[in-house]
């Protein structure tokens, strides 16, 4: 038996301290997960529920790769985030067991065609055209949890052309990592290879061709991406 067309290639990320790769299955993203970002986007943290959305595996852009400015948009924004790599699948995972399902951590960017996202929202349409385009999820190498532990606090920041534009701490997440995994696993059966982008703090803004983004989460890693 053979496939009737060529099978798609597997998106993968390097693993820190190893020559092996982490195969990327699905990319789940958490929106509105820092109170300051909720306010920045015009919402009220007390009355704005955290939301989930997805990107395809073709959105992955491994570190060391330039970000191609996408078409159909004139307002592309950066959103820097802590990323969780799932190593053990499951449904209805408890918060107490959630860390046992984590393979490791990374840092990443949820690149957003903000003009298309806002326009879709005004029309009551899904966000995919604004969020789920190719190369929209730059990501660093995966750091296994056995090396990093399970970070609960630590500075998260992003510099744009050397200027600090996002600056917070992952302890400020509205839903922490165990809470995200527990909630997400009630909607989907999590599978090995899934990534979870955990949300971004305030300070999001636009990029232009030639810009350089450099971000870090203490205890996890750094990522530098050039816009071309």
User: Residue 202 burial (CB < 10 Å; 0-12/13-18/19+)?
Assistant: middle
CA 21 from centroid of its chain's CA atoms? 18
Residue 46 has pLDDT above 90, yes or no: no
- Residue in this structure with the two tokens 């803004």, named with its chain if needed: 205
Residue 38 has pLDDT above 90, yes or no: no
Residue 139 has pLDDT above 90, yes or no: yes
pLDDT confidence band for 50 (50 / 70 / 90): confident
The token pair at 40 is 């920045």
Asked if 174 and 43 touch (Cβ cutoff 8 Å), the reply is no
Asked if residue 172 belongs to a domain, the reply is: yes
Residue 84 has pLDDT above 80, yes or no: yes
What is the DSSP pairing of strand 195-197 with strand 27-31? parallel
The token pair at 155 is 């500075």
pLDDT confidence band for 19 (50 / 70 / 90): very high
Asked if residue 128 belongs to a domain, the reply is: yes
CA 141 – CA 13 distance, rounded (Å): 6
- pLDDT tens digits for range 175-188: 999 999 999 999 99
Non-local (6+) Cβ contacts of 125 within 8 A are: none
The token pair at 163 is 């200027």
Asked if 78 and 207 touch (Cβ cutoff 8 Å), the reply is yes
The token pair at 11 is 């998106």
CA 228 – CA 98 distance, rounded (Å): 38
Domain extent for 157: 22-226
Asked if 10 and 23 touch (Cβ cutoff 8 Å), the reply is yes
Q: What confidence score (pLDDT) does residue 226 get?
A: 98
Residue 25 has pLDDT above 90, yes or no: yes
Which of the residue ranges 47-56, 105-114, 139-148 would you say has the lowest mean pLDDT? 47-56
Mean pLDDT, range 1-7, rounded to an integer: 95
Look over the chain and give the mean of its residue pLDDT values, rounded to a whole number. 96
Judged by phi (left if over 0) then psi (alpha if -120 to 50, else beta), residue 32 lies in left
Asked if residue 187 belongs to a domain, the reply is: yes
Element (H, E) at 85: strand 80-86
The token pair at 28 is 């789940």
What is the DSSP pairing of strand 163-169 with strand 76-78? unpaired
Asked if residue 5 belongs to a domain, the reply is: no
Asked if residue 2 belongs to a domain, the reply is: no
Asked if residue 13 belongs to a domain, the reply is: no
Q: What confidence score (pLDDT) does residue 36 get?
A: 85
- pLDDT tens digits for range 186-215: 999 999 999 999 999 999 999 999 999 999
Q: What confidence score (pLDDT) does residue 65 get?
A: 98
Q: What confidence score (pLDDT) does residue 42 get?
A: 78
CA 140 – CA 221 distance, rounded (Å): 7
Asked if residue 220 belongs to a domain, the reply is: yes
pLDDT confidence band for 41 (50 / 70 / 90): confident
| Share of residues in the chain with pLDDT > 90 (%) | 90
Asked if residue 119 belongs to a domain, the reply is: yes
* 107 strand-pairing partners: 82
- Residue in this structure with the two tokens 């909720």, named with its chain if needed: 38
Q: What is the CATH number of the domain that holds 215?
A: 3.90.850.10
The token pair at 176 is 């922490």
Residue 144 has pLDDT above 80, yes or no: yes
The pTM assigned to this predicted structure is 0.96
Higher confidence at residue 36 or residue 137? 137
Residue 160 has pLDDT above 80, yes or no: yes
Domain count, the chain: 1
pLDDT confidence band for 101 (50 / 70 / 90): very high
- Residue in this structure with the two tokens 């693993």, named with its chain if needed: 15
């Amino acid at each position: 038996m053979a496939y009737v067309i060529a099978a798609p290639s597997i998106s993968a990320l390097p693993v820190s301290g190893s020559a092996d790769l982490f195969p990327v299955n699905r990319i789940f993203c958490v929106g509105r997960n820092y109170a300051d970002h909720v306010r920045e986007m015009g919402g009220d943290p007390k009355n704005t529920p955290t939301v989930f959305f997805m990107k395809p595996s073709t959105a992955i852009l491994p570190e060391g790769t330039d970000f191609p400015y996408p078409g159909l948009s004139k307002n592309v924004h950066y959103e820097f985030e802590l990323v969780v790599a799932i190593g053990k699948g499951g449904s209805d995972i408890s918060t107490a067991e959630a860390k046992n399902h984590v393979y490791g951590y990374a840092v990443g960017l949820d690149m957003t065609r903000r003009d298309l996202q806002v326009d879709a929202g005004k029309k009551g349409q899904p966000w995919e055209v604004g969020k789920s385009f190719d190369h929209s999820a730059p990501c660093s190498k995966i750091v296994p949890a056995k090396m990093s532990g399970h970070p609960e606090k630590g500075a998260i920041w992003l510099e744009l052309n050397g200027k600090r534009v996002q600056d917070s701490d992952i302890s400020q997440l509205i839903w922490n990592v165990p809470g995200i995994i527990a909630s997400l696993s009630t909607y989907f059966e999590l599978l090995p290879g899934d990534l979870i982008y955990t949300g971004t703090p305030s300070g999001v803004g636009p990029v232009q061709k030639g810009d350089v983004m450099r971000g870090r989460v203490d205890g996890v890693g750094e990522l530098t991406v050039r816009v071309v």
